[in-house]
Structure 1
């Protein structure tokens, strides 16, 4: 299936070796003089690398007195090496970061103050609502995003027409969701592709409960009654309502999305980064998209994305901030929007993203995005969130097969990681 490249995507391919710059070594921000700033970011393909090079060229033009060096690595290697570089005080002065990974790396990044943002030329009002929450943790800002994303409900319009199932639409409820899933379930395909990935399985429970499984201060809250009830309902889509198929293995991390994209499920939940990929799918079915359904208190979604922060030990913070600002400038944001690679965080650039899409999809994508981003909240995570996610994910197989309850899984995770 064709997929859009977004900075938050978990893709991998060969790229350059990741090294850093800080106060500590020969690759420091001051290496070769105080005018050298290294930018580290992941790149999953040659196209990703070329896009980053174009953005760095924009920053270089805006800062002719500086020497800006880009260094990239595939997603997995990037974070492995970032862990090493952070421990050794050898982070790049300008380092890329993803919202879902931030909590593990806050110690390596400088907290950005209003004065820092001003030095970078960042005017927060020029960025979309919720954008500055993307790279914030416990109320502190560690970076500024260049793109943003949230979760959507994707549906197979041909399948819904064939079964007479109601079509998801803006303002639909969880009762509507159940009605569509049940009507679309046949002996040939499921009404819904159940999620295994962290964002994919949590999206509907968060929307239904109106709360996240972590409090804003980073306190783990997996046993919040509203979240437990909503998560239990989610698991019962397989075991009780039987509108989704159980997962055979914990290694099937993209189970629901793959079921949908292959025409084996009528609906699935996935990120906005795959919008065009699903619309222009290889099987050739007519795809549609809608915001997440609304619970009793509306529909709560998470705002996700990636951007850049400044290393805590950067020698030349002022120069690094100027580079960061240039990487997030109007010209740079217009570039990524016009390329259709990802949805920019800067408001003025967002229309260019929709203009870059094929005409037959443009209005549908814009309407779905506008609705989905209207009620978003930055993701709250604990300092050990990646360990929690790693623990819960394989347990979902037992939940979906009726061998374990969602409540017990959440209670065990709360007990083990909530201290």
Structure 2
């Protein structure tokens, strides 16, 4: 997500590029092709034409390796994916292979096939994967997807803007006070230090790093009325309404912060390693990366990621699991890591991503972030919480309402 998460959030118009919308075609029936192979559809969020080509190559490579299946990609934008997939899983129209983000595991699990028996049957060694992702893609003590990527939420920065302002580039482990001091120097001439972000993973990570406040508790329960989280959110909001180091948010827009950063209008952006190499390739400035600033009682960050599972409607679960093994095997995940598409959930393949990054200090920053990262739990209402954040946080960020009152309004909208 992980995410994948920022990148996919930027592509609201991706369906216009010719991506295939999620439908029931190729779902539970797992029909056959003209040459007798098992036809299998794979639902995945797609971030534009290049992303689509990337995933189509995975589908083709795995199909060729297995020989007796033909996997067809079915793409959707990230922001549409989970609502559509929830509908498909509950209406018997879901494809065999289903992408799952760790934050949304609990939301999709009722329509997913638990993989534990298939893991044992196929002697798959789960210890080869990042342990936080095995936990993140599990719910009710069952594993619902095999992970392909992982990553702690971090801070990207524009080194050119720091140099121009005479501000030392931030080191891993920097504090909230150091962040604010640097932010004030970076905000000038119509530019800001950072733009606000309402994406649930990123704002919750920012608050966790600041004071340890959490809406999603370690056991997966949700408490939107948590006073510590409200205090942390107020600090985040004050960056706009009080400190003036962040611009006002023009309505709920999870892509606003990333877009402002890529345009060179802000010096920093909260993101994850899944986006770093894409940002580096497209940015017209030198990109650096550091940890989220730590405040009193904070210092941690959330980790997240994604994987692929099997819908209960799939008529050929054994063949689907064989596909999953290949899709999350060393070869595929190594290729994705080397291409910068994902920090591989297989830990042995992560050095390929680091080597490809070519950013000074990225390995040290990643190690520091991972040392304090905790898995972000999923909850059946996580998607609704994310939508409410995007809808309501603009009031807190722009100073129209206190963070505590905004969180009360959000809590009132969630199931009790």
TM-score, normalising length from structure 1?
A: 0.86
**1:245-284 correspondence to structure 2 within 5 Å:** 245-250=247-252, 252-282=253-283, 284=284
Computed over aligned residues only, the root mean square deviation of the Cα atoms, in angstroms, reads 2.8
**1:5-404 correspondence to structure 2 within 5 Å:** 6=4, 9-10=7-8, 11=11, 12=14, 13-16=17-20, 18-20=22-24, 28-29=29-30, 35-64=38-67, 66-75=68-77, 78-79=81-82, 81-113=84-116, 115-137=117-139, 139-250=141-252, 252-282=253-283, 284-297=284-297, 299-357=299-357, 361-404=358-401
Contact 1:20 1:28 in 2 (8 A): no
SS of equivalent residue, structure 1 residue 345: coil
SS of equivalent residue, structure 1 residue 117: helix
Unaligned 5+ segments in structure 2 are none
Moved more, 399-408 or 180-189: 180-189
Contact 1:7 1:342 in 2 (8 A): no
2:411 aligned residue: 414
SS of equivalent residue, structure 1 residue 279: helix
Counterparts of 1:7 and 1:333 in 2: how far apart (Å)? 18
SS of equivalent residue, structure 2 residue 318: helix
- Aligned residue pairs total 405
Counterparts of 1:365 and 1:265 in 2: how far apart (Å)? 21
Q: CA 1:15/1:294 → structure 2, altered by over 3 Å: closer, same or farther? A: same
SS of equivalent residue, structure 1 residue 158: helix
TM-score, normalising length from structure 2?
A: 0.86
Q: CA 1:402/1:35 → structure 2, altered by over 3 Å: closer, same or farther? A: closer
SS of equivalent residue, structure 2 residue 44: strand
Counterparts of 1:77 and 1:171 in 2: how far apart (Å)? 35
Moved more, 47-56 or 325-334: 47-56
Counterparts of 1:156 and 1:45 in 2: how far apart (Å)? 24
Contact 2:37 2:70 in 1 (8 A): no
Counterparts of 2:196 and 2:229 in 1: how far apart (Å)? 17
| Cα distance, 1:309 vs structure 2 | 0.6
| Cα distance, 1:80 vs structure 2 | 5.5
Counterparts of 2:259 and 2:47 in 1: how far apart (Å)? 20
Contact 2:59 2:72 in 1 (8 A): yes
CA deviations on 1:38-65 (whole Å, 9 max, x unpaired) are: 433333444333322332344334433x
Q: CA 1:85/1:270 → structure 2, altered by over 3 Å: closer, same or farther? A: same
SS of equivalent residue, structure 1 residue 149: strand
Counterparts of 2:369 and 2:239 in 1: how far apart (Å)? 23
Q: CA 1:214/1:56 → structure 2, altered by over 3 Å: closer, same or farther? A: same
Counterparts of 2:5 and 2:321 in 1: how far apart (Å)? 20
Contact 2:385 2:414 in 1 (8 A): yes
Counterparts of 2:211 and 2:246 in 1: how far apart (Å)? 20
Counterparts of 1:170 and 1:138 in 2: how far apart (Å)? 35
| Cα distance, 1:169 vs structure 2 | 0.6
Moved more, 53-62 or 382-391: 53-62
| Cα distance, 1:277 vs structure 2 | 3.7
Contact 1:34 1:316 in 2 (8 A): no
Q: CA 1:88/1:31 → structure 2, altered by over 3 Å: closer, same or farther? A: farther
Counterparts of 2:190 and 2:335 in 1: how far apart (Å)? 44
SS of equivalent residue, structure 1 residue 105: helix
Q: CA 1:416/1:59 → structure 2, altered by over 3 Å: closer, same or farther? A: same
Counterparts of 1:224 and 1:116 in 2: how far apart (Å)? 39
| Cα distance, 1:234 vs structure 2 | 0.9
Q: CA 1:278/1:36 → structure 2, altered by over 3 Å: closer, same or farther? A: closer
Counterparts of 1:235 and 1:329 in 2: how far apart (Å)? 42
CA deviations on 1:189-237 (whole Å, 9 max, x unpaired) are: 2222222322332221022232431124432212223212111111111
